Structure 1
Amino acid sequence: MITYTTNAPQAVPAAVMSAADDDANAWLPATGVRASVAREAVLFQQGDTARSCYRIVSGAVRLCKIMADGRRYVVDFLLPGDLIGLEAGDTHVFTAEAIVDTELTRYARPQLRRALEGDARAGQRLLDLTMQSLAAAQDQLLLLGRMNALERVATFLLQFKRRLGAHLMAQPIVPLAMTRVDIADHLGLTLETVSRMLAELKRRGIIELPHPQEIHIRDRAALAALAGDARH
């Protein structure tokens, strides 16, 4: 469910709230409907009919899978420029929730079909998005299946920082819109374990924790070594 609101966006890290580069989304229809979604509002639930997809203009959204026993797994965190609801079938596989007050552009599925049929660049861009999603899913399988808790947290921090954009890569700050519980549910850990791992990274001098929604990376090379990431 999308909630339309005239409330001003809440104060969150500027990097998370900023609009993304429009070049990557130039293939999208120009007639999308703008919507404001309040913090913690549900865009759609798993099992709902997939009538639309959405582009995030500002804010952040989490994709969740609710298990039969009520447990929640956070599949991904989506940021400005990301698309939500591009389903292969007619129903949504995941639940989408706004982490903070979020601005979206909504597109009806027939609009996207027409865009894909009439523009070869649109088809190529959709293929690129599909391949990126596949690579991210493979990385997540490795993280959950082979990494210990400290390696998972280190990998998450590096990957999330990379997704915030090239203009932030040279800066030590990682702004986080999500809570520690969200991170725990994404990494397959408990809240207590995530807190202990962040404290351990701080003890080693790798990060600083000045604010619950902000992490400073002091030693990126050490963090990358823990994550097994040579791209730091």
Structure 2
Amino acid sequence: MTERIINTTRNKEQQEIDLNLLRKMFIKSDYPKELIEKTIQKCLKTSINQQNLNELNNNKPKPETKLTLSLPYVKGIEVLKRTLEQIGVKLYFSYPLKLKSLATLNIKPQSKSIIYQMNCKCGAIYNGETKVGLKDRMKQYKTKIKENDINSSSEIVKHHYIKNGQCSFDPNKAFIIDNETNYWKRRKKETIYSIINESINKCDL
């Protein structure tokens, strides 16, 4: 009840009047005066500490927004949103396209600057970015996979060797997950998708 009185009004005089009424009510109910006062003071102290903490948090400068990103909403992405905000990246969620949006997409040509995904037979995921379009990028991967060079810098080829050739990525089944013409934003999105999907290619924000 003490907390309710404190939260109901910020007027100190009114708080004291209400607290005195509370004291009298407990005294009439045969509660020990010492216990009544101790409990009230404890609640007052807790409330003051909480108010000071709230003021401190409100006055704490927020990181300057250096970049804004839009990603499809998936369950649990809120954690990533809070983490990104701490380093100045503002994340917005997008939701499934409506019929009107789909019609617009059919008219507007897609950019070749994309973030894409390939899935391996073993369940591993590879997320990457390119400005040459999905078709041309997959041609490059097919060449690397065909060469099968053990010293290749390609994460996909490395994955093939780590798994002793038991699994492989199929470039023919790759798909686009996002579009972004700005190089730096595209790299940031690639990193975020890689984190979400636990991609075999590791990127840093």
The question of a shared fold, defined as TM-score above 0.5 by the shorter chain, is answered with no
Structure 1 or 2: more helix by fraction: 2
Pair member with larger Rg: 2
Structure with greater contact order relative to length (CA < 8 Å, sep ≥ 6): 1
Structure 1 or 2: more strand by fraction: 1
Q: Shorter-chain TM-score category?
A: under 0.3
